[in-house]
């Protein structure tokens, strides 16, 4: 399994905000968001091929109860089902952070689904060569419905501007999702941008009855690896 990094930190986003967790970041993604904050796991996937045994040994080293499998896109990784089964056997609470374009019958306690809005399409990067694939794959309604019905979930959206809300509302309605499980987060990789966008986003959450999440790890540690 190609792994970009394994580290112990505090969950900085979503319904488990603040939970001490071991993060396992897989490398490789089928999307190319223009604002991706982990390009080393998507645009230029780096990492090491590790055996499941080595990954599990590293995870166990931290004595944590919670494991977050993130990426990249974990659901396209070979052996992900087996990996989650083994984590479950060891008693971990498992969160999987996915864009929700692929379904695999993994073991998972919180499916953290982050469908990518049109604000993510990379029209200008690398001459726009990834834009068509990204646009074709980014929303897979049948996969999203299956994930939502199979797992406890949160639907986490990255919001760049207030105009994004119409797209979110429409998708949440189409999926018949529970709005208490819809989490909005401002796009940004520095505290200043996040603070400025969070002010109007919090207002939107009040009106729409969606949850608001900060990006706590950016505030605490800045936009860097291993946190």
Contact 190, 197 (CB under 8 A): no
In the block, residue with structure tokens 């989490």:
183
Could you say whether residue 139 binds ligand SF4 (CB under 6 A)? no
Query: What is the closest distance, in whole angstroms, from the C-beta atom of residue 61 to ligand SF4 in the complex?
Result: 25
Return the residue of 11, 27, 42, 84 that touches ligand SF4, per CB under 6 A.
42
Q: Which of residues 51-80 bind ligand SF4 (CB under 6 A)?
A: 71-73
Cβ-count burial of 77 within 10 angstroms (0-12 exposed, 13-18 middle, 19+ buried)? Answer: buried
Query: What is the closest distance, in whole angstroms, from the C-beta atom of residue 183 to ligand SF4 in the complex?
Result: 15
Could you say whether residue 29 binds ligand SF4 (CB under 6 A)? yes
Query: What is the closest distance, in whole angstroms, from the C-beta atom of residue 89 to ligand SF4 in the complex?
Result: 28
Query: What is the closest distance, in whole angstroms, from the C-beta atom of residue 138 to ligand SF4 in the complex?
Result: 8
Cβ-count burial of 222 within 10 angstroms (0-12 exposed, 13-18 middle, 19+ buried)? Answer: exposed
Return the residue of 16, 69, 75, 99 that touches ligand SF4, per CB under 6 A.
99
Return the residue of 4, 11, 26, 38 that touches ligand SF4, per CB under 6 A.
38
Could you say whether residue 32 binds ligand SF4 (CB under 6 A)? yes
Could you say whether residue 36 binds ligand SF4 (CB under 6 A)? yes
Could you say whether residue 186 binds ligand SF4 (CB under 6 A)? no
Where residue 214 falls (left for φ over 0; alpha for ψ -120 to 50; beta otherwise) is beta
Query: What is the closest distance, in whole angstroms, from the C-beta atom of residue 56 to ligand SF4 in the complex?
Result: 23
Rounded to whole angstroms, how far apart are CA atoms 100 and 143?
Answer: 7
Return the residue of 1, 41, 80, 110 that touches ligand SF4, per CB under 6 A.
41
Could you say whether residue 24 binds ligand SF4 (CB under 6 A)? no
User: Which strand ranges, in their side-by-side order, compose the sheet holding 182-186?
Assistant: 48-49, 2-10, 20-26, 66-70, 93-98, 110-113, 153-159, 182-186, 211-212
Binding map of ligand SF4 across residues 103-132, x = CB under 6 A, - = no contact: -------------x----------------
Contact 203, 175 (CB under 8 A): no
HEC profile for 153-167? EEEEEEECCHHHHHH
Cβ closer to ligand SF4: 56 or 164? 164
CB environment 205-221: b (16+ within 10 A), e (fewer): beeeebbbbbbbbbeee
DSSP one-letter code for 151: S
Residues at the interface with ligand SF4 (CB under 6 A) = 29, 31-33, 36, 38, 41-42, 71-73, 99, 116
């Amino acid at each position: 399994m190609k792994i970009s990094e394994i580290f112990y930190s505090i969950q900085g986003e979503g319904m488990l905000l603040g939970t001490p967790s071991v993060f396992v970041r897989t490398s490789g993604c089928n999307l190319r968001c223009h604002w991706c904050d982990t390009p080393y796991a998507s645009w230029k996937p780096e990492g090491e091929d590790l055996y499941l045994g080595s990954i599990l040994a590293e995870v166990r080293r931290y004595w944590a109860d919670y494991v977050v499998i993130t990426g990249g896109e974990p659901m396209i990784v070979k052996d992900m089902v087996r990996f989650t089964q083994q984590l479950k056997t060891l008693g971990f609470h498992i969160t999987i952070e996915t864009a929700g374009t692929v379904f695999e019958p993994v073991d998972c306690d919180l499916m953290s689904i982050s469908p990518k809005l049109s604000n993510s399409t990379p029209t200008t990067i690398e001459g726009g060569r990834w834009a068509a694939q990204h646009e074709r794959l980014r929303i897979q309604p049948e996969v999203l419905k299956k994930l939502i019905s199979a797992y406890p979930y949160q639907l986490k959206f990255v919001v760049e501007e207030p105009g994004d809300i119409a797209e979110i509302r429409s998708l949440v309605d189409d999926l018949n999702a529970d709005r208490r499980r819809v989490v909005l987060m401002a796009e940004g990789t520095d505290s200043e941008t996040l603070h400025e966008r969070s002010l109007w986003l919090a207002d939107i959450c009040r009106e729409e009855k969606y949850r608001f999440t900060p990006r706590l790890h950016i505030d605490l540690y800045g936009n860097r690896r291993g946190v």
